[in-house]
Structure 1
Amino acid sequence: MKLFIVILLINFTSCQSQNDIIKIENDLERLKLKGEVKKITSTILKNNIDGTNTFDSYNFNKKGDILRKSNDLKYIEDYYYNGDHNKIKVTGSLRGTVDCDTIFFYNGNNCIKKYIYSFKKGKLNLRDSLLYVYDSKNRINQEKFYAKGKLDITSFEYNNQNLIVKKTTETIEGRIFYEIFKYNKNSIKKEYFSKTDPRRINNKRIIVNTFNKNGLIISIEKTFIEGKSKSKKSVIINYLDFDDLGNWIKCSTTYDSELQLIKERKIEYFD
């Protein structure tokens, strides 16, 4: 659960979206949702991975901000905002016991400057933090992630359209990881690789997001190239059905061409 929060924060709390410098107004935009969404409940109908049928749900306010996320494991995340509906705190609890929280800090441009993530591990109270550094165009220039006394720094490069074209992450151990972005008319391709990490030097991960003419995602294809033999594994997510507003309500996931998951979403809207 803690890993989910860290990923969510990195993806959703900066001043900009991942691909441009325009300030995103709310979580509905971040999640590419259309209309005044009140609640989303997702259910896995078919699961050939571990056989479980799980669900999770998102609740939103009328401003489009997430208020609560929960799942069938009784894990709940509650979200709190200031007057500018900037996210200022996220609290995570499992079966009624709070086990982590995140506090957000903003700069004068209402862009996230820093967050501090605190969590419990056994009897220990641990703390991680992420600091954003912006350039003169108010784009993220660096992310500095502090965890367990170590510092990872990610630097960003942009093209003339202010789209991210490269991320370079350097760890305290001197390992360097690259993320390359390539944009086409209806797709975004991301490549992840490292030239210095001996565990991953022959590995590459490629993700292609494909969109329809309205800008809504219709498929995600992930390819994993591993080892000197360059063996390939693939994961493909296809969005099969959409509601009247264009939000997807059914998707499937295949692993190496074999169907593994079918997921449905029930979307409720404010009147």
Structure 2
Amino acid sequence: MITELHSQRLYLRKMKASDSLSMFKIWSDPDVTKFMNISNFTDENEAKDMIQFLNELAQNNKAIRFTIIEKESNHIIGSCGYNSLDFENSKTEIGYDISKTFWGKGYAPEAISSLLDYAFTHLKLNRVEAKVEPANVNSIKVLEKLNFTFVRYSEKERKISWKAYRFKYLFEINKRLILVPLPILNQSVGFFNFCIKFKSLTQSWKKLIKKSEVSLFSHLVAQSCYIQFYKCERTTKLKNK
């Protein structure tokens, strides 16, 4: 399994026990862990245990986590990696976190691009997934920038910690994916554009809209996706006649 990756500004290497203090500073920040599968750490030993756990998964080819280092300063600025590796189904799920000090510099998409390149080119996987909570707007923008496709809205997916149940969106990107960019929400909502698969099933959107647990905001997202998909589907059918 690969132990390091490089991009223009970043160096990604396998996590080391000596990274514990730097990672503790990141993982103890509630603004960073807010949308992660952990509660913010309160002791450096928690970071040590987490690094050991992640490296054990890597040894068994089940997952791998990289420490992200800024080349210019040689500072540890976060972590990213493959949360799960499913070679049988040729897919993986990615995760990432960046120190708040380094937000807004484009480091997240740069790191993820390295993960995508390695997953498709060297691991020979066909699909990369990312699960994001609806409120995590910045992370969704990152995935959108990298041409991830909105797949579905999953409910009550339990976090690894016992923090809470949360709603999540599932995004994915494929090797040979034809994307149809669709405007999802109007300016009054002030959000972003999803890219959805043209082959998405209309029925799935109907079910989503009917879910009573979906918040008003998520309802608008689902409804807009359904309307835009229906228009696109309808136009195509007319052209084919």
- When normalised by structure 1's length, the TM-score is 0.25
Comparing both structures, which one devotes a greater share of its residues to helix?
A: 2
- When normalised by structure 2's length, the TM-score is 0.27
Comparing both structures, which one devotes a greater share of its residues to strand?
A: 1
